[in-house]
Amino acid sequence: MNNRLSGKIAETAAAVYFLLHGFRVVARNYVTGKRTGAGEVDLIVAKKKLIVFVEVKKRSGIDDAAYAILPQQQQRIWRAAENFIKNNPQFDDFDVRFDAFLVSSKLSFRHIADAWRK
């Protein structure tokens, strides 16, 4: 299985996980645009007045996936989150959280709520 397909499977697993926990999927693979200094957010979910920006990482092991979310990437996701909220004012008064959904090559996973802050 190639990396792109296994990444999509991991993102789908994350979406199902959040749906099963009462969240609704707001967006998948949200990109702010070229030359904005922001990156892509794999998954955006919401529940009540909480919006969560989720980074999905698949690596050979869970720890490898966790270490793959570098501070620079966290900052790009944070900027993308700002852009998303600016362009979707219905989320202005929501609490914001950044989560990590880590998947191993053996398809075990770990959800880390509030994985980082600005």
Residue-wise pLDDT tens digits, 4-51: 777 888 999 999 999 999 999 999 999 887 666 667 899 999 999 999
Structural contact between residues 24 and 68, judged by C-beta atoms closer than 8 angstroms: no
To which H or E segment does residue 54 belong?
strand 50-59
Residue 3 banded pLDDT, cuts 50, 70, 90: confident
Q: What is the pLDDT of residue 40?
A: 86
Provide the mean pLDDT of the chain. Answer: 91
Give the SS3 label for residue 33.
Answer: coil
Average pLDDT estimate for 64-75: 92
Q: 34: which 2 tokens? A: 């070229």
CB atoms within 10 A of CB 8: 15
To which H or E segment does residue 20 belong?
helix 3-20
The CATH number of whichever domain residue 95 belongs to comes to 3.40.1350.10
Residue 101 banded pLDDT, cuts 50, 70, 90: very high
Domain of residue 71 covers 3-116
Cα distances from 33 to residues 30, 83, 89, in angstroms, run 9, 10, 18
pTM of the prediction? 0.92
Structural contact between residues 58 and 108, judged by C-beta atoms closer than 8 angstroms: no
